[in-house]
Amino acid sequence: MLGAQAVAKAFPEYPTTIVRVTPPAVHLKDYISMAGPEVMAVGKSEAAQQTFLVLASVIVYFAGTWFLCCLCVINK
């Protein structure tokens, strides 16, 4: 939770929210990474997929921009 609070404090002009990560991971980056501009890579494990669904549920429209609006899940 401290990480999310630090991000909110560092970037007060952007909306932030806490996303709970499904165990056994500790950090969001354990399951989800940015793969390029507007492209996210999501792990194929059940826990990674559950965490992604939580993340996708907090999409925010702010100042004319959809945050997390272009999401791509590749399951191989």
Task: Report yes or no on 73 lying in a domain.
Answer: no
pLDDT per position as a tens digit, 42-55: 999 999 999 988 88
For the chain, the domain total comes to 1
Q: What is the pLDDT of residue 66?
A: 58
DSSP code, position 32: E
Q: Which pTM does this prediction carry?
A: 0.67
Which is it for the CA torsion 6, 9, 13, 16, positive or negative? positive
Q: What pairing do the DSSP bridges indicate for beta strands 65-67 and 60-62?
A: antiparallel
Residue 30: predicted pLDDT? 93
Regions of the chain where pLDDT drops below 50: 69-76
What is the C-alpha separation between 25 and 9, in angstroms, rounded?
A: 24
Domain annotation covers residue 39: yes
Question: Is residue 72, in this structure, part of any structural domain at all?
Answer: no
Range of the domain at 30: 2-67
Instruction: Supply the DSSP symbol for 22.
Output: P
